[in-house]
Each structure stands twice: as structure tokens, then as C-alpha cells.
Amino acid sequence: MSYKFESDAIKAFEQLLKTETDYNVIIHTGKEFNFKEFHAHSNILRCRSEYFNKILSTENIEKKNGKYIIKKPNLVPQAF
């Protein structure tokens, strides 16, 4: 029997997205009627994106209740 680490890891990440367990980043996109809030994990964002790594590394990033808040009002949710 061979062990497929990659498929198990992918399943675990999919489960994190579905349950939104222990997320620590909230991303607001759009404005007013075309607004959406996304939940994410900072460790995954940092590993997968230089852009988010830079944003999450700044000292003046907004935090509320222990969660990073990233606001992108000019980015429509569908594009994000």
C-alpha cells in the first residue's frame, strides 16, 4: 500500500476552507451591494503569495479580535 501525502494534504486544506476553522485573516472585497468577506489562514497566504506575505508583515496592519483585517474596496469579489 502506498501512502499519498499530497492527496491527504489537499483534502485537509479543502476541509479547512469548508469549515473555516481557526482562520485569522478576514479580507473585505468590494463595496456596498457588491461586497464579500473572505476568511483565510495567514500561514497559507504567506507561503503561497509574496503579495500577502508583504501585507501581513507590515507593522501597521489592522487587527480586530486577533484577526488580520485586509480591506480591498476597489477589488470586486468575483475577481478575487
Tell me the backbone φ, ψ of residue 57, rounded to 5 degrees: -90, -10
- E strands of 1-80, at which residues? 25-31, 34-40, 62-64, 67-72
Domain 20-79 of CATH type 3.30.710.10: yes
Confidence (pLDDT) at 2: 56
Which one, of 70, 38, 65, lies nearest residue 55 by Cα?
Answer: 70
- pTM score: 0.79
Angle, alpha carbons 29-36-49 (nearest 5°): 50
- pLDDT band of residue 1 (cuts 50, 70, 90) is very low
The answer to whether residue 69 scores a pLDDT higher than 90 is yes
pLDDT band of 13, cuts 50, 70, 90: confident
